[in-house]
Structure 1
Amino acid sequence: MKRLLGAEDLYKIQSVSNPQISPNGDEAVFIRTEIDEKDNKYYAQLFHVQLTTGVISQWTFGKERISSPKWSQDGQQVAFLSNRDEKNQLYVMNKNGGEAKKVTTLDSGVNSFLWDPSGQKVWISSKIKSGKTITDKTEKEENPLPKPYVVDGMKYKMDGLDGAGLVPQDSYSQIAVLDLKDESIEQFTTGDYQHSLQAISPDGKKLVIGVNRADNLDFVFKSPLLLIDIETKEEITIVDENGYYGGAAFSYDGRYIAFAGSDHAYKNATHSTIYIYDVEGKTTLSLTENIDSPVGDYAVADIQQGVSAPSVVWTEANELYFQMSTMGDVRLYYATLDGAIYPASPEGEHIYEYAVTKDGKFAIIAVSNPTFPGELYYYEIAAGERKQLTHFNDQFIQDVELVQPEEISYHVSDGSTVYGWLMKPAGFEEGKKYPLIVEIHGGPHTMYANTFFHELQLLAAKGYGVLYVNPRGSHGYSQAFVDAVRGDYGGGDYTDIMSGLDYAISQNDWIDTDKLGVTGGSYGGFMTNWIVGHTNRFKAAVTQRSISNWISFFGVSDIGYYFSDWQIGSDMLDPEKLWEHSPLKYAKNIETPLLILHSEKDFRCPIEQAEQLYITLKSMKKEVGFVRFPDNNHNLSRTGTPNLRIERLNQIVQWFEKYI
């Protein structure tokens, strides 16, 4: 008999990612990430699979995190990044055995790399202090005195950075080339700008890099891509428009460069598109502009680790593959240069990683669905047939009772259709009444999807039904739908969620309407705050990493000064509108017992947002709790310190158990 899922099952679920097929198509490498409960850390190891036999072998075993494995062009070596010596450095391993060789010892480590087609060199990017070269060594001070951080510019901090979240001063990402014969490094880019390494041409003569050379980046929101002749350093601009562009890849014949990007028409709500740049004709076309869904993976989940799917992959026949988020799925899509585009994988699942052979006959895909954490599959694309390659989560699936959610849809006030899912409690019995929790995703420009979500399964295991929907503002649907939340936070999105609750209740007599709870994080935390300030239907609420006050958010968030304008349509010249959309304004209306969860080092929604809400509610003698999580950022629920992730889940469950 299967057991119920627990919070500690996070330690048992393993994440499989980064499939990389060898040039001959006979073998592949990939990454498996697991949580070491004793060390309270994530470890990621390199694995190899022989595709003809299915035999899997582990290639690395240290207490480290391996990332970004890549085959050399001749298929004899694999390079990867490892933090085994604290900073990420580049290692090269012979596929026929032997210890991986560390080939860089850079002060700031290696951010990214690309094999040169010759197989004798590797292109790398690394942070370098202004006025220094990539090979300069910084002498460590024995007893360094504290130094002030002199703020210059508005983008001076960032959530997720080590330490205090402050962007390192006078430090710039530069590109260099490493000669594997003598391990010498020659710096390629210069200047006090951030350079990103994008792609190298098949003949090894041209690089695609990203760099923005504007003097002041405070209100610059673009990422130009340049095509550079390696010998002459002559530059050709591929794209230099407002928006975000990257993930470049050369076609095998070197004629075309594909990349993903989104313009600034709807700010950060704009659908991402695949673009094709013709190197000879110097023209660009938008390949997917007629499809009203975003390219890429916008699914929210909490178990996949170290995922870095390519934006686009070419075949030798100049066909392309890419991910698209559509109707709650993340599917693999196929396209040709003459505009033929169609899905290359089924509905009802989340393809969160993929690799395709040069001939386009098969792929390795990493697949998850609501009752399946994720494994790698060998996928014959034309036949639509797949064979499971990895089985790291078999024992977990065999041991634990998991709930299959039911897909729902309903019409809302503006005539749109909203889609979502309803999970019954584990062990559901007909004729019994059960409490229901409404979960709200962050973003808001992300989406719930047909993927495994440990937190949702945990609530079902604890005896709750779970309703989770994609209200207006969510990705995966039309451009008009994802844009509809901007300037209307707490308006149509609120009614979409409440209409979903009404619909679920009308269709399911097992829902106990006297025992409703609500929770969410980030935007979902904002919406939780908003909901309890506008209705007393819920018996308990848990708000996580939330926004409570748009006025203070403007100045304290790492993105506040522009995100507020993009999303609310206002700034400090019109604080009244910011206040109108702030849940704190409606604190006096809150009667629902509210638990506030927040990380100390959250620079996206800083903890002062939680502090304001907590003290305000306390001063009003409201029923409120506050839990602070040390040394974690905005991503606690997904990539945070393992034991604190468990404690966060326990706090949520305990609050609902107490008040529902």
Structure 2
Amino acid sequence: MAEKRVVEKEDLFKIQSVTNPQLSPNDKEAVFIKTKIDEQENKYFSEIFHLNVETDEVTQWTFGKERVSSPKWSPNGEQVAFISNRDEKNQVYIMNKSGGEAKKITNVESGINSFLWSPCGEKIWVTSSLKEGAAFTDKTEEKKQDNEKPTAYIVDKMRYKMDGLKGHGLRKQLVHSQIAILSLKDESIEQFSEGKYSHSLYDISPDAKKIIIGVNREEHEDYDFRQPLIMVDVETNEETVLVDHEGYYGGAKFSYDGSYIAYTGSDASYKNATHTNVYIYDIENGTTQNLTESIDSPVGDYAVADTQQGVNAPSIMWTETNDLYFQLSTSGDVQLYYASLEGAIYPASPEGEHVYDYAISKDGQFALVGVSNPTFPGELFISEIAKGERRQVTHFNDEWLTEVKLAKAEPVTYTSTNDWQVHGWLIKPANFEENKKYPLIVEIHGGPHTMYANSFFHELQLLAAKGYGVLYVNPRGSHGYSQEFVDGVRGDYGGGDYEDIMAGLDYVLREETWIDENRLGVTGGSYGGFMTNWIVGHTDRFKAAVTQRSISNWVSFFGVSDIGYYFTPWQIGTDMLDPEKLWDHSPLKYAKNIETPLLILHSELDFRCPIEQGEQLFITLKSKGKETSFVRFPDNDHNLSRTGTPNLRVQRLEQIVSWFEQYLV
């Protein structure tokens, strides 16, 4: 048997992402999406596959060079509809399970955002972003002519841009998401919603008489982050408000018998650090129950990683007996959980892994789950919940796994300041030898309200392959633990969170004799970039650092970030009325103390942490004669490391590795 090789940066092109499992109405078959990066085309392509649940036979159904998403079975189980960009703009296509070419059924000028089958099977509800006053049938958009003069963009709201949007992040003026009904009989389309508000479509009742939408009809949205959930009578347009609180609510789903609506959400008690819960609305009596109130962990998937593409896991799934399933992020795991309306709640998947996607059979007896762990990129499994048994049904990464040597992630738990318990992982170098000293790199996640998890992370494996130990922990501010823990960072950036990370470093240095304390590196992105900047401004223990898509100056961040004007007071506790406090929490203030060689990586179209944050830090350090370098990635946004242009993702990894190789010798 040939000796396995270590992980390489180009393995990004070999690892395949398996997501979006969708069980058919009879639960005997399923479809899902496989996504892979095409190195030659420098693009992401995805395909729909079919699974026979009884025989585990997997068959490819689509073959084009395209991105597909949102596969959904027709109510009779004879067809699958999906969204594809094969004709440039996203449109809905339908294919028969008996075979044949998929048929495009929408031709909306602005493309389709989402869709749902009507329970009758004769209609499909769709959403699209339309100009104010425009209709789904309009064909007025024209391509820009070469000699067309530019038009000024008039800004009258603070929420006028958003990271990830084309056109320099600017929101389209007077454009709103609207809902329409498409008849499959004659492909006619009837607009259902209108006005100057954006509408989300969540679900349709089993009798097709009601829908659940999300819409905020307030005139001034700069400080209004509500999206009320509303049940609408399709015939009369009568509305029943399910929830209208400040916070985030969505994922609404009717029970099979139409008696209840489940949805997930979090209020604004701790701003964006508030735990998400599952709520049950009783349609008959109009009461609402917080089903997960007793659990001090957030509902949903808060794990960060860099492999899975296009995951769109359901917020909640019902069974025919009115039981529910959902994901829960807890202590570094993302588990599938079961709940009954009577209040019984317990895990339906093992610890030590990341359930990143799932579908539940109607009777609740089995689930089709996407599962990953630190040495397993992710595949689909059929899990027989009551028996506690599962079997793997996709094997797209098997060949790659036979080629590479993956390093195990060993859990660590230690006590930080104020007796806070902190959890994380330590990876030894892939070719670890006893009685040998190795450098260690500390990785810090973004958010800060996300979490490292028992999930596969290519970047961490690459660093281990290059001969580094890797320590990655969940300091206070991370999700997956208590409400007190995730809220612990707000108003204290650079305080207890910094102490948690340094306490973790001290802990592994005491416990692991193989770590060379004179060859320590640190890196992180977004909040992790802020913390990297903060660390090197407050200690010289690290011999090299790489800061990515970082925050260096809260004063300028307030006005230049797409979220700066509200995220800053949420997290730091003040705004421009107290610039001194913003400056005190800004790593740029302490740049004069930085002696650690610092590499600054930033995307030019990052509007979450704009590139001026990296520019300020670089020029300041360079002007003081500090050891630094600045690498700019064109045409990419805040998500370069996860969904960015493939060749630039590889170049990013090259920059990180080469910087550490230069200084951690």
Shorter-chain TM-score tier: over 0.9
Shift of 1:163: 2.5
SS of 1:284's partner is: strand
Name 1:58's counterpart in structure 2: 60
Q: Does 1:620 align with 2:614?
A: no
2:194 match: 190
Question: What's the TM-score once normalised by structure 2's chain length?
Answer: 0.99
* Residue number in structure 2 paired with 1:601: 605
2:584 corresponds to which of 577, 580, 590: 580
Aligned to 2:314: 310
Deviations 1:235-267 (A, max 9, x none): 010000000000011000000000000000000
Counterpart Cα distance in 2 of 1:352 and 1:599: 27
1:138 to partner: Cα distance: 1.4
Residue 201 of structure 1 aligns with which residue?
A: 205
Counterpart for residue 32 of structure 1:
34
Of 389, 394, 398 in structure 2, the residue corresponding to residue 390 of structure 1 is: 394
Residue 303 of structure 2 aligns to a residue whose secondary structure is coil
Among residues 100, 103, 111, which one is paired with 1:101 in the alignment? 103
Offset of 1:541 from its aligned partner?
A: 0.1
Q: Which residue number in structure 1 is paired with residue 409 of structure 2?
A: 405
- Give, in whole Å, the separation in 2 of the partners of 1:187 and 1:558: 31
Residue 242 in structure 1 maps to residue 269 in structure 2? no
Q: Deviations over 1:106-144 (max 9, x none)?
A: 111000000000000000000111111111111425343
Partner AA of 1:47 in structure 2: F
Kindly report which structure 2 residues correspond to 1:220-369, keeping only aligned pairs within 5 A, or say none: 220-369=224-373
Query: CA deviation digits over 1:558-599, x for unaligned, max 9?
Result: 000000000000100000000000000000000000000000
1:131 aligns with 2:128: no
SS at 1:87 equivalent:
coil
Give the deviation of 1:221 after TM superposition: 1.2
Partner of 2:72: 70
1:90 and 2:92 matched: yes
Q: Which residue of 1 aligns with 2:82?
A: 80
Counterpart amino acid of residue 142 in structure 1? Q
Report runs of 4+ in structure 1 exceeding 4 Å deviation. none
Residue identity in the other structure for 2:429:
P
- The DSSP-based 3-state class of the residue aligned with 1:447 is coil
Report what 1:19 is aligned to.
Answer: 21
Q: 1:494: Cα distance to partner?
A: 0.1
- 1:444 alignment partner in structure 2: 448
Amino acid at match of 2:117: W
Q: Unaligned 5+ residue runs, structure 1?
A: none
The aligned counterpart of 1:559 is: 563
Which residue identity is paired with 2:33? I
Render the CA deviation track for 1:443-492: whole Å, top value 9, x for unaligned. 00000000000000000000000000000000000000000000000000
Cα distance in 2 for partners of 1:499, 1:132 equals: 58
State, as a whole percentage, how many aligned pairs show the same letter.
Answer: 70
Is the contact made by 2:109 and 2:141 (CA closer than 8 Å) also made in structure 1? no
Match of 1:645 among 626, 636, 649: 649
Cα distance in 2 for residues equivalent to 1:350 and 1:633: 26
- Shift of residue 158, structure 1, vs aligned partner: 0.2
CA distance in 1, matches of 2:205, 2:47: 30
CA distance in structure 1 between the aligned counterparts of 2:598 and 2:622, rounded to whole angstroms: 11
TM-score normalised over the length of structure 1? 1.00
Letter of the 1:471 partner, please give it. Answer: P
1:416 Cα offset (Å):
1.4
Provide the residue aligned with 2:145 in structure 1: 142
Structure 2 distance, partners of 1:138, 1:559, is: 32
* Counterpart check, 1:505 vs 2:504: no
2:179 maps to which of 166, 175, 179: 175
- RMSD over aligned CA atoms reads 0.6
1:520 alignment counterpart: 524
Helix, strand or coil: the match of 1:84? coil
Residues 79-103 of structure 1 deviation map (CA, whole Å, 9 limit, x = unaligned): 0000111111000111111111000
Which of 474, 491, 508 matches 1:470? 474
Superposed displacement of residue 223, structure 1: 1.0
| 8 Å Cα contact 2:25-2:76 kept in structure 1 | yes
Q: Which amino acid aligns with 1:133?
A: A
CA distance, structure 2, for counterparts of residue 240 and residue 612 of structure 1: 41
Q: In structure 2, how many angstroms separate the alpha carbons of the residues matched to 1:297 and 1:48?
A: 25
Query: Which residue identity does 1:647 align to in structure 2?
Result: Q
Cα distance in 2 for partners of 1:92, 1:297 equals 30
Task: Work out which of the residue numbers 493, 496, 499 in structure 1 matches 2:497.
Answer: 493
Q: Measured at CA, do residues 172 and 422 of structure 1 come closer, stay the same or move farther in structure 2, by a change above 3 Å?
A: same
Q: Which amino acid aligns with 1:296?
A: G
* 3-state SS of 1:473 partner: coil
User: Which of 158-167 and 361-370 deviates more?
Assistant: 158-167
User: More deviation in 187-196 or 133-142?
Assistant: 133-142
- 1:168 is aligned with what amino acid? K
Q: Secondary structure at the match of 2:419?
A: coil
SS in 2 for 1:85: coil
Cα shift readout 1:311-358 (whole Å, capped 9, x = no counterpart): 000000000000000000000000000110000000000000000010
Contact 2:473 2:501 in 1 (8 A): yes
Q: Give the one of 396, 418, 425 matched to 1:421.
A: 425
